[in-house]
Amino acid sequence: MVNPGAFRGSRKDFLMGEKAAYSAAMAGGYGADALALIQRRYFKRYPVNLPHHEEPTAKHLAEVDDDAPDPEPEEPNPEGMTMEECEAATKELEKRQTILHFRKAVSCSCLSSMAITSEPVVPLSTANQTLDGVPVYEGSRPQPQGVWGQ
């Protein structure tokens, strides 16, 4: 059976709609910037706390403002919490960060595979390091060959 891909529904529609902009950015040499913008817009529509298999409501999608500043995630405040509450809040924050890194890596991979340009696509590891530091799966990916491996 063919792999259906990681994105379905409106998530896939959103990313497919970004294909032309991403391809143009790759050809223009500013792919990492375009990728950061696409991911920022993606997470405004599909927040990390929304399970990947659930679609956002039409109302939520209609209310998205790409120009609004992104809210900062709240850090656990140990002064107003018990030790157990603080540990639980810290674990929840770490879980959120892990999901965020994973989804960024998957969206980066999806967009990189869609780019159709005459120029070589920026290696995924370079784009991820520009945006996030070392992604979760970095150690298991084979090293690129040819132009990128030089």
Listed by start position, the domains of the chain span 14-65+78-140
If phi > 0 it is left, if psi is from -120 to 50 it is alpha, else beta; for residue 28 that is: alpha
Question: Rg of the chain's alpha carbons, rounded to an integer?
Answer: 17
Kindly report the pTM of this predicted structure: 0.59
Higher-confidence residue of 16 and 114: namely 16
Average pLDDT of the residues of the chain: 74
Q: What is the pLDDT at residue 111?
A: 61
53 vs 69: CA distance, rounded Å = 26
Tens of pLDDT, residues 85-110: 888 888 888 888 887 777 777 666 66
Angle formed by the axes of helices 124-132 and 31-45, to 10°? Answer: 60
Confidence of residue 119 (pLDDT cuts 50, 70, 90): very low
Q: Are 26 and 121 in contact (CB under 8 A)?
A: yes
